[in-house]
Chains A and B, each alone.
Chain A
Amino acid sequence: TQLLEQSPQFLSIQEGENLTVYCNSSSVFSSLQWYRQEPGEGPVLLVTVVTGGEVKKLKRLTFQFGDARKDSSLHITAAQPGDTGLYLCAGAKNTGNQFYFGTGTSLTVIP
């Protein structure tokens, strides 16, 4: 059983469209991270959020941590083909050192 559920599992959109990926859990996390993984490579960190309600922006990507620190969202504006990849959220608790990874969202942006 996955502690973190992501939706949607697969997403295929046209270049220029907007999209939102969700990461949900019934557990509270002390920090939540988003990673992007491309084929043949390891996940690469995009952002870390630690405060409930926190919003962080990285160019066209906007990340939000839920007020209760149980969920997060990733919004991409005007998607580009270079955004194609597997997006993973990962939550960590300050009572341990384990990072719990979400089920992943595979994004394809069609030129």
Chain B
Amino acid sequence: DSGVTQTPKHLITATGQRVTLRCSPRSGDLSVYWYQQSLDQGLQFLIQYYNGEERAKGNILERFSAQQFPDLHSELNLSSLELGDSALYFCASSVNGRYNSPLHFGNGTRLTVT
């Protein structure tokens, strides 16, 4: 058990809809990362937060947004969903968000857009 909790585990929704994925980091970790994993793209970095502030941005679409709250949990909002957004979405946390601080991953949310 990594200590990182993601909900829900599975999500099935229709194109055009909006969903929110939630992540609670490991106790003591201040930084949260979001990744998208699909069969053809591998594990793609979306965005990173540290102690409530955005720290780094990757290949995140404009239709996607995220935030980290004062209690350090994070939410990833996906809107105007398309079929191609179907993927596994992982949250990871680390102690200080630095390059030498390992990532601890949750078990992901599997999103299916129909």
Interface range for A: 20 to 34
CB distance from A29 to the nearest CB of B (A): 8
Number of interface residues of B (CB under 8 A): 27
Residue A18 interfacial (CB < 8 Å): no
Residues of B within 8 A of A (CB): 2, 4, 31, 33, 35, 42-45, 48, 50, 55-56, 58, 90, 92, 97-100, 102-108
Number of A-B contacts (CB under 8 A): 68
The dominant DSSP class at the A interface is loop
Which A positions have Cβ atoms within 8 angstroms of B?
2, 30-31, 33, 35, 40-45, 48, 50, 88, 90, 92-94, 96-104
Bound form: Cα–Cα A90–B98 in Å: 13
Q: Which 3 A-B pairs have the closest CB atoms?
A: A42-B105, A92-B99, A101-B43
